Amino acid sequence: MNSEDNTNNRSRSEQRSKRKKTNLILNSLIVIVILLIVFVSYTIFGSKDEANGDKTVKEKTAETKKDNNTTETVNGNTDESTNSDEEKTLEEDESKTEEEAIVTEGGSDSNVVKTIENPSWESVDTTQTGEHKAVYSDGPDWDEQVKALAYGSGLDESDMVIWFLGNNNHDPQKSIGTVSSKDKSKKYRVYIEWIDQKGWKPVKVEEIKDLNIR
């Protein structure tokens, strides 16, 4: 009996041991399968998320570049528009000045080629104050008359020769000057008059043929 009991006990012990080993193997396999599933899932879905993330970043970068290009284009157009407007304004001012000038053939005598009168002419700056009377010798009044002659004729003072500058029609507030360029290619008779508190102003310019003194 004892021999049979011992045999049975060993058999049961071996069976329990086998079941434990089997359970351990099964549990290990289950854990391995779960880990594999998790790994595979992460690999699949993680790759998709990264791909989507890269796509989003690329799209945002592309949009940013597009916005920058649009801004540059707008700014470029604005600068070009501003420059164009400034040039147009200058052209309009020059055109306006030319249109305001009244040019007629001939003039006060046979020596005159054409006469120019321009309402847009202004007085040259003056430093003089008080009662005014034209002065035909070196001094502030003479210097300002010379500036008015250059302004009316369009000649540069450094290139202008004064052939005559004196009183016009016995009026102490009016003068007349005969001027030319140094090479004598341009010759003018310029009429100027004094404007109180403003200075000498050209009122009429005659282009002349010869430099005969008035």
Instruction: Say if residue 177 is in the same domain as residue 92.
Output: no
Q: Are residues 151 and 199 in the same domain?
A: yes
Count of domains forming the chain? 2
* 214, part of any domain: no
For 100-135, what is each residue's pLDDT tens digit? Answer: 889 999 888 899 999 999 999 999 999 999 999 999
The stretches of the chain forming alpha helices (DSSP H) are: 2-100, 140-153
204 shares a domain with 109: yes
Does the predicted model carry a pTM greater than 0.85? no
**Residue 27 belongs to what domain range?**
1-100
Are residue 2 and residue 91 in the same domain, yes or no? Answer: yes
| pLDDT, tens only, 60-104 | 555 666 666 555 544 555 455 556 666 665 555 445 445 588 999
Place of tokens 């004196």: 166
Q: Please name the residues in contact with 122: beta carbons below 8 A apart, sequence gap of 6 or more.
A: 201
**Is 127 within the bounds of a domain?**
yes
Residue 202, class by beta-carbon neighbours within 10 Å (0-12 exposed, 13-18 middle, 19+ buried)?
A: buried
> What is the strand order of the sheet 199-208 is part of?
102-105, 112-117, 199-208, 187-195, 171-181, 160-168
